[in-house]
A and B are shown apart, each in its own frame.
Chain A
Amino acid sequence: KQEVTQIPAALSVPEGENLVLNCSFTDSAIYNLQWFRQDPGKGLTSLLLIQSSQREQTSGRLNASLDKSSGRSTLYIAASQPGDSATYLCAVGYGNKLVFGAGTILRVKS
């Protein structure tokens, strides 16, 4: 059974810092990996999708990497801002289904 772990569970940083969120998974036979953002009381917003054949994807200040063989992905956020405060979820895809990690709660202090 696929298990997805996100570390750390919570993170508090001052504005302007670069930060890394980690995601690990137990079964490397994945189709893709998706990073989401969730604001309190809201739905999930897709940030980045990495296909299994790709090593990384970038969108603005966000960069996600994927190392299938080691079962790891990282989400790098450059020059963090208070508006980045949210829960970040990692989900691995197999077939057309996703398995989610529990998330990392990020707080960026101004």
Chain B
Amino acid sequence: DAGITQSPRHKVTETGTPVTLRCHQTENHRYMYWYRQDPGHGLRLIHYSYGVKDTDKGEVSDGYSVSRSKTEDFLLTLESATSSQTSVYFCAISELSEQYFGPGTRLTVT
């Protein structure tokens, strides 16, 4: 399995609070991605990174920001969480074509 960890694995937070999810890889892959998975919508891309400090928006980026200060870490921040951001969040990495996924973080916003 690709060396990808996500933390925390589960989180419950209140509306309006900031939340940061972390993705850590040990593969030294160039590309890193954040997706959310929701019933009826499948997996949708939030943001991705193509190198340290190089990021771009995905399909559903509103309300999210990202940062990548080191090759191995990619952070996803919800500046002010809303109930619509309750979801399962997956991180993925790739070097050439194939993407490998982390175990996911289940976030509940109450």
Give which listed residue, A43, A46, A93, A97, contacts B102 with CB less than 8 A.
A43
Of chain B, the residue at the smallest CB distance from A97 is B45
Q: Tell me if A's interface is mostly helix, strand, loop or mixed.
A: strand
How many A-B Cβ pairs are below 8 Å? 49
A102: B residues at CB distance < 8 A: 40-42
Q: Name A48's closest neighbour in chain B (CB-CB).
A: B98
**Contact bitstring A66-110, B, C-beta under 8 A = 1, else 0:** 000000000000000000000001010100111011110000000
Contact residues on B (Cβ < 8 Å of other chain), bracket: 20 to 34
B43 contacts which chain A residues (CB < 8 A)? 44, 89, 91, 98, 100
Known pairs A42-B104, A89-B42, A96-B94. 12 more at Cβ < 8 A? A43-B90, A45-B101, A51-B97, A93-B97, A96-B50, A97-B33, A97-B45, A97-B58, A98-B43, A98-B99, A100-B44, A103-B42
> Could you list 29 examples of A-B contacts with CB < 8 Å?
A32-B97, A34-B97, A34-B98, A34-B99, A36-B101, A42-B104, A43-B90, A43-B102, A43-B104, A44-B43, A44-B92, A45-B101, A46-B100, A49-B97, A49-B98, A89-B43, A91-B43, A93-B97, A96-B48, A96-B50, A96-B94, A97-B48, A97-B58, A98-B43, A98-B45, A100-B44, A102-B40, A102-B41, A103-B42
